Amino acid sequence: MSLLLSPLDALAERLGLARTSELLVVAVTHSSYAAEHDCESNERLEFLGDAVVDLAVADLILTAYPELNEGSGSLVRSRVVNETSLALAAQRLELASCLRIGRGVKKEHGLERPSLLADAFEAVVAALYLESGYESAKRFVQSSLAEGVAEAALRPGEVDPKTRLRQWLEATGIGTPVYDVVPEGPSHDVTFTATVSANGELLATGQGRSKKSAEVEAAEAAWKGRTDA
């Protein structure tokens, strides 16, 4: 018998959970695997984990950075609680080695997708929350994202592409950006295409593995293509 822990056992140990944790198994189960094996996916846990991550990061910002007001704090949180940041946290956790994914997703290198990794990170947070309570989940989230929060807090005035585009459109009197997102492909391998318009005029399009990332790509493209650049 090998003395080496399996990736899932190592993850459970790192989280302080029992190796037999059924919730952790669900947390690492992608919908593509669940569809093939008739078991529960991590989608419901992801929904809960999203809220726990938001709260834990807001808690950290409030207690560790009292100089930030509500607006600046919200900007810092938006730069940390996003697909890219959470996917990086999942990579540091070596979460990909634990994930159960379907054959099609595996064939298309799905474990490299930021959206899949970010969703799994949130699901793991939810499993920890349900098994060990909020304080344990908060400590884990804050330790995972503290560096990103600290970096964002140094430059709280920097805004994300969607906010930057909206501020520019409103300042120039063009109007408010409107996003329309259309999914393409099977449920386990969806690509989202987003368009952003203002005052009835199409500004740009973008694609991503999640609605949010597609909208961000569209906003970035619209910003780069603005007429006063």
189 noted as active-site residue: no
**Amino acid code (one letter) for 151:** E
50 noted as active-site residue: yes
Q: How far apart are the first and last CA of the chain?
A: 64
Catalytic choice (50, 83, 131, 217): 50
**Which residues, other chains included, contact 192 with Cβ-Cβ below 8 Å and sequence gap of 6+?**
181, 182, 183, 184, 207, 208, 209, 210, 211, 213, 214
In whole angstroms, give the CA distance from residue 167 to residue 103: 43
In whole angstroms, give the CA distance from residue 198 to residue 225: 14
Catalytic choice (46, 83, 122, 131): 122
Catalytic residues: 50, 122
